[in-house]
A and B are shown apart, each in its own frame.
Chain A
Amino acid sequence: VRTIVRWQHSGLCLLLLFTFASSTWAEDPAPIRAGIIGLDAHAAVWARILNRPNAEGELADLQVVAGYAGGSLDIPQSQELLKQGIATFEELEIPVVDTIEELLTKVDAVMILSIDGRPHLEQAKKAFQAGKPVFIDKPLAGSLADAIEIFRLAQRRNIPCFSSSCLRFSPGTQAILNNSSVGRIIGCNAHSPCALEPHHPDFFWYGIHGVETLFTLMGSGCVSVSRVQTEDGELAVGRWSDGRIGTFRGHRSGPHTYGATVFGEHQVVASGKYEGYEPLLVEITKFFKTGVPPVQAEQTLEILAFMEAADASKRQGGRPVSLETVMKAAQRRAE
């Protein structure tokens, strides 16, 4: 973003570029300086990937330069991971600052990675006020209403913002889209682990990964959800407006696996594997460079509506619940 801004607004820079265009400038621009808010989840692992001295391609263009610890006292996992996150930042010699405000003075772009979705709205507000583009890790927020508010605020200030699980960008999943041997995707059964966390709607905490896979493959347009829950698992069935059906299976026993069966026009194929964090980090870097989000806000909100509707269906004994109803109720709360 720094480079873009410079090139766009400084004639001198343009002049420099054309006059002195050296291989150093063309191939090795200064990386974008990212600040991470919330060191209690992916921060440690992602900082290691992004700050590798030998990082290549897009990943060489994004550098983590500051962190803000954050953390949620009422989530034990947050407290455990926070220690590891802070230790890793110390090891990588990335400064951990005391306030988000201080962090914002040091960075070009912000990654909100707090494991807890609830503080995301307040954390994002500060980043938006500072005019920094923001990536928000899953779950986008602690509720659909908060998520609506986040996107509304970003839009009002014209700040680029997106959220996604890394599962969306698994090359094996992306390869199924627009694959002529599979044809149009008529249906999908996605699955992922689905641990629960008492302060979040059931699928927000972990099931989001499989739900993200489902929406990546099916696209937007889900109109209703019905859900079965047992101790060991979840099964949510979504009906799309054009009659296609997609399911999400969440498991709490058996192995920790991700996947999807894609029912195509011409072929039924396996997809949806977890293929690491890099594909998402590449997308985040491109997003910070261009300001163009790789996922539309409307689809992310639909994903959250799907997950809240699944909770509503559970409360109603498994009957189908309309996403529109859930969305409208959340919009009222957001206002």
Chain B
Amino acid sequence: VIDSFHAEFNLKENNMLRRVLSAALMTLFLIVPAVAQTAEQPLRAGMIGLTTSHVIAFSKAMNNPEATGPLSQVKVTAGFTGGMPDNPSSWDRREGYTADLKAAGVEIYDTIEEMLKHVDVVLLESVDGRPHLEQARPVIAAGKPLFIDKPMAGSLADVIEIFRLADEANVPCFSSSSLRFSKGFQQMRNDSPVGKIIGCEAWSPCSYEEHHPDLFWYGVHGVEVLFTIMGTGCKTVTRVHTEGTDLVVGTWEGGRIGTFRGIRQGKRDYGALVFGEKGVVSAGKYDGYQPLVVEICKFFLSGKSPVPAAETIEMFAFMEAADLSKENGGGPVSIEEVMRQARAVYASKK
């Protein structure tokens, strides 16, 4: 729009007037784009890693012609398939999801770099967390706001590095499980009916994937609930592991205690019991993907992350500490120590 306006304007003779008007119009265009785009042209979103059912669910929510609010202002227009050959969950479904997106009119590109030329924002969806750092690098380099689906990465060190790169490039970036934005869990965080939160017992299914720390693959959902309700400040972690169940206990600053129960046997349920100053209540249920997709769209439109990076980092430290506790026979593991070791990984590579 600006280019064509200039082309037309260049025909004018009066240089002075041209300069003044040009400056005024440039200012106008610099201020207006967000508004103009939201009103008429939705943001073009690209998806990296067409290896999870989320790509179908999320793009359906955004591309629904009847979508309203923030959902109507972001459309998935591009995709890059990706996939990890050594992880069947990632590899076996990629072609199906790619075909589905193609059928829905989404352009599929051979490389992330190519895709980035055609989008305003990016959803990194790869079901396997290990390639996330390498996939995030070009996105951050291109300055595109980035949502990263769970698990944010294959290791705490990678999580820290992604946030560091994004912060350095001033690129908005966040990651979350959809569980965080279920109404009941948000209410506990923002306006708890039981006053100050003293403790929490969260649970979720917890299947493993051999290339990820145990809780990253699926337990992350319940851990996300735990941190949504407890916030940051976890100091030590102990874990009891059996074939059917994991039970991870976190001790927070000030003596609050939060637990995560990972379920592999029995009803695969999500939930949390919250211990507050004024009562003990159930925090509610999983509300599906929609609340997360709305938050992602709001994030793309505003550039503001709905989750503090420090909280996401601490969640991953909690999950890695849980693995260390299992290795040491169930003794307590310090979050600070886990963080120190993870920070050293990329610091030493520089």
Asked if B266 and A235 make an inter-chain contact with CB atoms under 8 angstroms apart, the answer reads no
A259 within 8 A of B: yes
Please provide the chain A residues from 253 to 273 with a CB less than 8 Å away from any CB of chain B in the complex.
Answer: 253-255, 257, 259, 261, 263-268, 270
CB within 8 Å for A235 and B330 given contacts A186-B266, A270-B282: no
> Which residues from chain B contact A263 at a C-beta distance below 8 Å?
203, 261, 263, 266-267, 269
Asked if B257 and A245 make an inter-chain contact with CB atoms under 8 angstroms apart, the answer reads no
Please provide the chain A residues from 310 to 333 with a CB less than 8 Å away from any CB of chain B in the complex.
Answer: 317-320
> Which residues from chain B contact A253 at a C-beta distance below 8 Å?
198, 277
Expressed in whole angstroms, the Cα–Cα distance for A268 and B269 within the complex equals 7
Asked if A249 and B269 make an inter-chain contact with CB atoms under 8 angstroms apart, the answer reads no
CB within 8 Å for A230 and B247 given contacts A247-B259, A264-B267, A268-B203: no
Tell which of B240, B267, B331 touches A268, judged by Cβ atoms closer than 8 Å.
Answer: B267
Size of the chain A interface, CB-CB below 8 angstroms: 38
Convert B246-269 into 0s and 1s, putting 1 for each residue whose CB lies closer than 8 angstroms to a CB of A.
Answer: 110101000111010101011101
> Which residues from chain A contact B244 at a C-beta distance below 8 Å?
186, 243-244
**In angstroms, how far is the closest chain B Cβ from the Cβ of A249?**
7
Expressed in whole angstroms, the Cα–Cα distance for A334 and B128 within the complex equals 56
Asked if B257 and A233 make an inter-chain contact with CB atoms under 8 angstroms apart, the answer reads yes
Asked if A232 and B267 make an inter-chain contact with CB atoms under 8 angstroms apart, the answer reads no
CB within 8 Å for A268 and B271 given contacts A245-B261, A249-B257, A263-B203: yes
B27 within 8 A of A: no
Asked if A317 and B275 make an inter-chain contact with CB atoms under 8 angstroms apart, the answer reads no
Asked if A319 and B242 make an inter-chain contact with CB atoms under 8 angstroms apart, the answer reads no
Expressed in whole angstroms, the Cα–Cα distance for A293 and B209 within the complex equals 48
> Which residues from chain B contact A257 at a C-beta distance below 8 Å?
279-280
> Which residues from chain A contact B236 at a C-beta distance below 8 Å?
228
CB within 8 Å for A237 and B240 given contacts A254-B276, A261-B201, A317-B331: yes
Expressed in whole angstroms, the Cα–Cα distance for A259 and B280 within the complex equals 9
B243 within 8 A of A: yes
**In angstroms, how far is the closest chain A Cβ from the Cβ of B284?**
13
CB within 8 Å for A228 and B249 given contacts A243-B242, A255-B278: yes
Expressed in whole angstroms, the Cα–Cα distance for A117 and B251 within the complex equals 31
Expressed in whole angstroms, the Cα–Cα distance for A177 and B271 within the complex equals 21
Question: Which chain A residue has the least Cβ–Cβ distance from B240?
Answer: A237
A168 within 8 A of B: no
Asked if A237 and B249 make an inter-chain contact with CB atoms under 8 angstroms apart, the answer reads yes
Asked if A237 and B279 make an inter-chain contact with CB atoms under 8 angstroms apart, the answer reads no
A33 within 8 A of B: no
A160 within 8 A of B: no
A191 within 8 A of B: yes
Asked if A228 and B245 make an inter-chain contact with CB atoms under 8 angstroms apart, the answer reads no
B332 within 8 A of A: yes
Question: Which chain A residue has the least Cβ–Cβ distance from B263?
Answer: A263
Tell which of B242, B246, B273 touches A244, judged by Cβ atoms closer than 8 Å.
Answer: B242
> Which residues from chain B contact A261 at a C-beta distance below 8 Å?
201, 203, 271, 273
Q: Chain B contact residues: over half helix, strand or loop, or mixed?
A: strand
> Which residues from chain A contact B330 at a C-beta distance below 8 Å?
226, 319-320
**In angstroms, how far is the closest chain A Cβ from the Cβ of B296?**
29
B303 within 8 A of A: no
Asked if B245 and A245 make an inter-chain contact with CB atoms under 8 angstroms apart, the answer reads yes
Convert B273-298 into 0s and 1s, putting 1 for each residue whose CB lies closer than 8 angstroms to a CB of A.
Answer: 10111111010000000000000000
A189 within 8 A of B: yes
Tell which of B242, B245, B267, B332 touches A265, judged by Cβ atoms closer than 8 Å.
Answer: B267
> Which residues from chain B contact A118 at a C-beta distance below 8 Å?
none
A239 within 8 A of B: yes
Tell which of B261, B267, B269, B279 touches A255, judged by Cβ atoms closer than 8 Å.
Answer: B279
> Which residues from chain B contact A28 at a C-beta distance below 8 Å?
none
**In angstroms, how far is the closest chain A Cβ from the Cβ of B109?**
43
A133 within 8 A of B: no
Residue of B236, B242, B263, B276 ringed by the most chain A CB atoms within 10 A? B242
Tell which of A191, A245, A255, A267 touches B242, judged by Cβ atoms closer than 8 Å.
Answer: A245
A139 within 8 A of B: no
CB within 8 Å for A235 and B249 given contacts A244-B244, A270-B282: yes
Expressed in whole angstroms, the Cα–Cα distance for A263 and B268 within the complex equals 9
Expressed in whole angstroms, the Cα–Cα distance for A266 and B263 within the complex equals 12
Question: Which chain B residue has the least Cβ–Cβ distance from A318?
Answer: B332
**In angstroms, how far is the closest chain A Cβ from the Cβ of B7?**
65
CB within 8 Å for A245 and B201 given contacts A232-B256, A255-B279: no
A187 within 8 A of B: yes
**In angstroms, how far is the closest chain A Cβ from the Cβ of B261?**
7
Asked if B259 and A235 make an inter-chain contact with CB atoms under 8 angstroms apart, the answer reads yes
A93 within 8 A of B: no
Please provide the chain A residues from 102 to 135 with a CB less than 8 Å away from any CB of chain B in the complex.
Answer: none
CB within 8 Å for A266 and B267 given contacts A317-B331, A318-B332: yes
> Which residues from chain B contact A266 at a C-beta distance below 8 Å?
266-267
**A residues lining the B interface (CB < 8 Å):** 183-184, 186-187, 189, 191, 226, 228, 230-233, 235, 237, 239, 243-245, 247, 249, 251, 253-255, 257, 259, 261, 263-268, 270, 317-320
Give the 3 A-B residue pairs with the shortest CB-CB distance, closest first.
Answer: A230-B255, A186-B266, A243-B242
A-B contact pairs, 13 of them (CB 8 A): A184-B266, A186-B263, A187-B263, A189-B261, A191-B280, A233-B256, A239-B242, A253-B277, A254-B277, A263-B266, A266-B267, A268-B269, A320-B330
Extra inter-chain contacts (13) besides given A265-B266, A318-B332, A320-B240, CB under 8 Å: A183-B267, A230-B255, A237-B238, A243-B242, A254-B275, A263-B203, A263-B263, A263-B267, A266-B267, A267-B269, A318-B238, A318-B331, A319-B329
